[in-house]
Structure 1
């Protein structure tokens, strides 16, 4: 029977991902099968999980998914020895209004699955106050159980002793304390971590993190703190219809932000997926009946995309007879022009009139609920789609017909409606699930 544990923290940036990867690899090195999940809409971390465990990881999201979908997704851990769910942001951080089964907070997943929480705390600039924070998180929500704490980036032995004593007085277990260690820092860029597939040395970095954590954290005590878990497979899977029977999917360093559970749901429904690389100047598979451009980092590769004539002409030819859909970065590439961070304007595919600028940066972040005004691949007009938007680009022009009425998590209407023209459609949000 597997055991389950949630890795969370008081806030972002304290080391959740590094600890999750290190624990997963350390236990795998001991011969255990480890399954990871990501709580929330982060589409980058699951690839790191897969690199650490050798098993595909997926997102579980209480705002966008119902309990049946979450149960279905986590049931893949039934044959594992240890199941780890890495949280997003702080333990209780979600949106103000409840979604399908919660607010998107990691605490929702911990309570739903009955798994205790291993709290990662960075006590930099504090000592006993770290114990007050941990105690507050322990007591904030009765249905969420704290297993204990791992301290990260402790400054000295004296610093560690002060924090440990305070946590002991509060009745909170400390499983270990990690000194600062630059060798296990994961590189970042504006949308989060540099993707796992772009890091040739990721395996060595995870190995070093596992060695370092095994030296400073009581792995056996952490394992004993996890909860025995009997997964209950759900009859219904992810409520997503494939956009076509054969899908041409853009996939490279510029087009990689697609949720793993989406691709799995498409394949489970019988769809075939053929990948192509716009950065390698490849056109979509001519035998496909739909083309899908996911998000990614086209703003970092805009010059190359503009110069790749075979890709752009092939995409235009495809769109003459078949649907093409773009999400976020893919949506930007379907547009007329993209201005990069240096203010240089690059010609894009021109299937939509959208013009975007990365030179005029403004963060757009949050859950999205879209009601389609017209069909898009895989979804009928009137469908209610749940997704998440995260980008820094601004719209300079959007002359086409809006694709949907889009609301944020509070119910407020937002301006990023997506758009449609001919066989081309696009949205700034990344699709997670459709309401049943």
Structure 2
């Protein structure tokens, strides 16, 4: 089906922890089982949920973001739905949760919203299916849903899926409230810890690390097929409102032939970046630091994305072929690291047990996970020096999400980095010779106008 005519829906909730991801994965797996080609999306910055989406749907899942992406980039990503029967987007946090109100935090170039799921719902016109955790309430759940349905013009709440229902009697009481409100109930899911997906400090355990992911998805598909009216869900989906837009140029590849670290320690890179690099003619050569593989010496740049180096610090510290290859590569060609990649380029990393592991030593960064501190939020970065693909002075948009505490950073700062309110943050990244890195995760450039 043409992307302009592909109907879509958004799975959202009043708050994090309501069951959005569980229900989204169950819907994707159940619809795929029925022969539907479903294009998954994730609202806001996130690496882990989209990886599960991709396994469940059999198609790459792309992030949609009203703060970090230009409107042109956003419109271009809606084109991924070509050939799909349905688009299904998972929301972020609560439906209306974002940064500061328009006029405060979104004044930076390129931003056209506050990063909320509601922005995506309003921009696309996709109806919202609200997942409600009804623990500890009955008829009052309908009042919550009704408030969400009336809160913002341009956002349509098509109905709800009740989650964590305690019993048949509980479900009857909750449904009674919805009958009075006139809102549609698409289904009700009982409390079932067996369908929980393992978690860790940045969210779910990665899809590639879960040996039981196929079984879990099958169980979720069964759960949804038993308890949710899938035909009614599909019936309320609507094609996106597409705005005229300039074709968004692919984000500049960091090189023509890119050595990209890819394994369980280095997996946090957005699919639209990789797709954009390939569209611009770049070739990507993957290598695994955990398998002690060095970057291919025929490449002209090495890129270490984020991930979980703290969980594999001992193995990385012992990977001598990887270390020797990276150090040799950095003598003649640029190397860049994002977040986990940045920490690996540093001098040392203290894991959660308090053990220090020597890293590559290409930068002077020392990080500590024994005394964790959450760093989270949107970021804009004005480069004080070039990184692969972008010149000094370029403004980039993205986010920061990690628990590492910086003990030392002895290199020249890489960028002036500000949060969504425009306040400078301490994590400036570092540069030394041809090596650069920061905790900043790239999503888009700020110069592309909406």
Tell me if 1:24 matches 2:10. Answer: no
Query: Residue 66 of structure 1 is aligned with which of 60, 63, 70?
Result: 70
Farther-moved stretch of structure 1 (412-421 vs 221-230): 221-230
Per the alignment, residue 37 of structure 1 pairs with 41
For residues 403 and 239 of structure 2, the distance between their equivalents in structure 1, rounded to whole angstroms, comes to 42
Query: Residue 270 of structure 2 is aligned with which of 259, 270, 275?
Result: 259
Offset, 1:67: 1.6
Task: Report runs of 4+ in structure 1 exceeding 2 Å deviation.
Answer: 228-235
Per the alignment, residue 392 of structure 1 pairs with 403
Offset, 1:65: 0.9
Tell me if 1:49 matches 2:53. Answer: yes
For residues 188 and 313 of structure 1, the distance between their equivalents in structure 2, rounded to whole angstroms, comes to 34
Offset, 1:229: 4.1
Offset, 1:426: 0.4
Matches within 5 A, 1:350-429: 350-429=361-440
Query: Residue 353 of structure 2 is aligned with which of 328, 338, 342?
Result: 342
**Change in CA separation of 1:144 and 1:238 when aligned onto 2, cut-off 3 Å:** farther
**Change in CA separation of 1:40 and 1:81 when aligned onto 2, cut-off 3 Å:** same
SS of 2:82's equivalent in the other structure is helix
Unaligned runs of 5+ in 1: none
SS of 1:420's equivalent in the other structure is strand
Deviation digits for residues 102-145 of structure 1 (CA, Å, limit 9, x no counterpart): 11100000110010100000111222222221111111101100
**Change in CA separation of 1:233 and 1:84 when aligned onto 2, cut-off 3 Å:** farther
Query: Does structure 2 conserve the Cα–Cα contact (< 8 Å) formed by 1:75 and 1:232?
Result: no
Per the alignment, residue 284 of structure 2 pairs with 273
For residues 410 and 375 of structure 1, the distance between their equivalents in structure 2, rounded to whole angstroms, comes to 25
**Change in CA separation of 1:410 and 1:229 when aligned onto 2, cut-off 3 Å:** closer
Aligned residues: 436
Query: Does structure 1 conserve the Cα–Cα contact (< 8 Å) formed by 2:250 and 2:277?
Result: no
SS of 2:40's equivalent in the other structure is strand
For residues 17 and 428 of structure 2, the distance between their equivalents in structure 1, rounded to whole angstroms, comes to 31
SS of 2:95's equivalent in the other structure is coil
Tell me if 1:325 matches 2:347. Answer: no
Matches within 5 A, 1:223-234: 223-229=234-240, 234=245
For residues 331 and 50 of structure 1, the distance between their equivalents in structure 2, rounded to whole angstroms, comes to 26
Unaligned runs of 5+ in 2: none
Query: Residue 168 of structure 1 is aligned with which of 176, 179, 183?
Result: 179
What TM-score do you get using the length of structure 2 for normalisation? 0.95
Offset, 1:237: 2.6
**Change in CA separation of 1:412 and 1:335 when aligned onto 2, cut-off 3 Å:** same
Offset, 1:101: 1.4
For residues 234 and 318 of structure 2, the distance between their equivalents in structure 1, rounded to whole angstroms, comes to 52
Offset, 1:2: 2.1
**Change in CA separation of 1:233 and 1:348 when aligned onto 2, cut-off 3 Å:** farther
What TM-score do you get using the length of structure 1 for normalisation? 0.98
Deviation digits for residues 248-279 of structure 1 (CA, Å, limit 9, x no counterpart): 00011100011111101111101000011111
**Change in CA separation of 1:274 and 1:67 when aligned onto 2, cut-off 3 Å:** same
Per the alignment, residue 83 of structure 1 pairs with 87
For residues 145 and 55 of structure 1, the distance between their equivalents in structure 2, rounded to whole angstroms, comes to 26
Per the alignment, residue 94 of structure 1 pairs with 98
Per the alignment, residue 179 of structure 1 pairs with 190
For residues 155 and 282 of structure 1, the distance between their equivalents in structure 2, rounded to whole angstroms, comes to 51
Tell me if 1:199 matches 2:210. Answer: yes
Offset, 1:352: 0.4
For residues 96 and 272 of structure 2, the distance between their equivalents in structure 1, rounded to whole angstroms, comes to 24
Deviation digits for residues 51-70 of structure 1 (CA, Å, limit 9, x no counterpart): 11111111111101122111
Q: Note the aligned Cα RMSD (angstroms).
A: 1.2
SS of 1:26's equivalent in the other structure is helix
Per the alignment, residue 6 of structure 1 pairs with 10
Farther-moved stretch of structure 1 (275-284 vs 227-236): 227-236
Query: Residue 312 of structure 2 is aligned with which of 301, 304, 316?
Result: 301
Query: Residue 229 of structure 2 is aligned with which of 215, 218, 229?
Result: 218
For residues 243 and 155 of structure 2, the distance between their equivalents in structure 1, rounded to whole angstroms, comes to 20
Deviation digits for residues 193-231 of structure 1 (CA, Å, limit 9, x no counterpart): 111111122112111101111101111111111113476
Offset, 1:72: 0.5
Offset, 1:28: 1.5
For residues 287 and 53 of structure 2, the distance between their equivalents in structure 1, rounded to whole angstroms, comes to 24
SS of 1:151's equivalent in the other structure is strand
SS of 1:401's equivalent in the other structure is coil
For residues 311 and 131 of structure 1, the distance between their equivalents in structure 2, rounded to whole angstroms, comes to 56
